[in-house]
Amino acid sequence: MRGAPEGLRPNRSPRDLIEAFLLELHKKQQEKVENNGEDMAPTGFNHQQMLHFIADVFAAGTDTTASTLKWSLIHLMKFEDEQRKIQEELDHVIGRDRMPSLEDKPNLPYTQAFLAESLRYGCAGPLGVPHGAKEDTKLRGYDIPKGTVIVANLYAVLYDPKVFPEPDKFNPSRFIDDEGRVKTSLIERAHSQFGIGRRQCVGMDMALMERFVFITNLIHRFNARAPNGPDSVTIDARGGLAFVPMPFEMQLTER
């Protein structure tokens, strides 16, 4: 790439998300110069959008990830049998001589199922984030004027009994087929927590990786217990735009 800014590596794979964005931004600027200052196909690649993009990544990787991690810890304490099943799978697949990594994920179907069910059951963001109609739209007979604020009821999606029978029951096995493999399409439905389609949360993959690494490494090394037993663990939440778990205590004992 001609005249790339100092520090960028145009002939090598980007080192991170920001460098990939900067390289694409430089490419678009170069195309504009070659076309006498005319944008052949205007895009969202500009410095202002990059700042918003970075802010979105940080937002997605902090508060929401923290809430979903808390729900996972609560579910591990509340449903001790599920915790033991995860530990048995980790011991069988990984052994006791090393810690889990992302490369192990395809071989840990029940662990994936637990994390998907925890995400669905906890539903930390029941209404997602507000969006807006860019133009007058008609959807299923309803008129949606341009500029209308649209809020998606993700809770209804994650607790739809037609998709998730007995939705009020914590049941990771719903994501496992008769041959012991994960139901990929159903897990993707649980990931609706992050939104759907082109406006899906930009931090989804990062958040899912963080949860997997954190929970598997924790449970592989420790037993998580509620000081007063599993029945004392509440799944009540402070409601609002987000379902935030109530404060809780947890005991960790080395396995």
CA distances from 83 to 10, 39, 55, 63 (A): 46, 55, 35, 24
CA distances from 42 to 21, 46, 51, 56 (A): 15, 10, 18, 22
Known binding-site residue numbers for heme: 201
- 72 beta partners: none
Strand 222-225 versus strand 137-139 pairing type: unpaired
What is the token pair recorded at 79?
Answer: 């449903």
The helix (H) or strand (E) run that includes residue 157 is helix 154-158
How far apart CA 250 and CA 55 sit, in angstroms, is: 32
Known binding-site residue numbers: 201
Q: Among candidates 81, 91, 89, which has minimal Cα distance to 110?
A: 89
The secondary structure of residue 228, as a DSSP letter, is: T
**How many residues in the chain?**
255
